[in-house]
Amino acid sequence: MLPRNLTEALRLIRAEALSPAEVVDALFRAIAEREPVVRAFLALADKEELKAWAHAARDKPLRGLPLAVKDNICTLEFPTTCASRLLEGYRSPFEATAVARLKAAGLVVQGKTNLDEFAMGSSTENSAFGPTRNPWDPTRVPGGSSGGSAAAVAAGEALAALGSDTGGSVRQPAALCGVVGLRPTYGLVSRYGLVAFASSLDTIGPITRTVRDAALLLSLMAGHDPKDSTSLPVPPQDYCADLRPALAGFRLGLPREYTPRELGPEALSLVDRWCAAIEGLGGEVVPLSLPLTEYALPAYYLIASAEASANLARYDGVRYTLRVPAQGVREMIAQSRALGFGPEVKRRIALGTFALSAGYYDQYYGKAQRVRTLIAREFDEAFAKVDLIFGPTSPTPAFRLGEKADPLSMYLSDLFTIPSALAGLPAISIPAGKVDGLPFGLQLIGPRLSEPKLLAAALALEEALG
């Protein structure tokens, strides 16, 4: 029988009541049963090979337990495709620092999970290799862009997984799949080996079944990395050492912009339940207003698309990507990119290129960066009054596959996760009830480097809300 989470698996292995090989067997039984429908993985280790890797790591702290990795994070064992035809079959000659640190602690890479192409999307429908489905209801999306990672954990196909969060891509799928998703402070976890989408926003984060598991993975990944120029000069920290559920004396702000009437009565009643739980645990709910929230979405899509336009210029068909034969270099590059990139990636490259073009740079990209600064200041002012901010992770539970064909309606899925991403703040989503019979997530946001407090509050609410 599969352990309920990573921490429980470790406890059982240390007590010699379970072996890593038995964990692998249980995971592969779940995969055989559910993967044909869920389709969370793009690449998967052979079972016996994975057992051999686990046996080789049996004396390390994490005892060879398997970990799923989003396919825009470089690994040595598997291709890194970013769910794009342009990188189909590409193998990285190096691995991400976050992966290397987890492997050094004894985790082994189980496989690579599906995502929206180049992490651009909120539903994992934009993958060139087909969509992933939500384990709670296969007619619905798992969220995105880390939908494969969230679905694998929710379906019991993985004990834990890594995802990447640019504007909400760890937290939103975690909310829609009923698991835990943590976005660390920008720069706390190295971006080295994470294929760049928007470099000033991208962050690697864990997707797990419990807050304790998220804290465990963060402890192993976090810390300065000289290979990443944006890595913060902070020493490693054990976020599990003093992790206790704590909310007594905390002031938690609830922005009115995060609870609009459009949420619907069932979701709003859940928010009331969260408020009651906070107060029952000794915390204080403080009404807040973050009026710049409405400007976060357009600012984000200008900044992220502009950075994507620059970052994706390297995929030209010349070196390690798909190459379409043509008579000239310019034609070859144009045809390779036209065939290799999907519609959403092309849309964002076009938007970003326009925003950076002569005559429009200051009007669009420059203005968006000024709005970003104002949003960060607004959060700073809010944290002078409260310890943490909370609210729904996503405006809706999981929506149906194909339901949000209009790009704007899809972009609105990240309405509550984008502001904190623009400010570089840590945030966590935990499962906290259901709407329409589907998981609905509670998001907690903290000041920079407030992960210990954020995790303690999340643990308290996880226990209180079940």
Active site residues: 70, 145, 169
CA angle 105, 114, 417 (to 5 degrees): 85
427 and 166 Cβ atoms separated by less than 8 Å: no
DSSP 443: E
Q: How far is it, in rounded angstroms, from Cα 377 to Cα 202? A: 20
289 and 255 Cβ atoms separated by less than 8 Å: yes
The DSSP code sequence of 84-139 is -GGGTT---SS--HHHHHHHHTT-EEEEEE--SGGG--SSS---TT----BTTBTT
328 and 310 Cβ atoms separated by less than 8 Å: no
SS3 440: strand
Q: How far is it, in rounded angstroms, from Cα 215 to Cα 237? A: 10
The 3-state DSSP composition of the chain as helix, strand, coil percent (nearest 5) reads 40, 15, 40
209 and 174 Cβ atoms separated by less than 8 Å: no
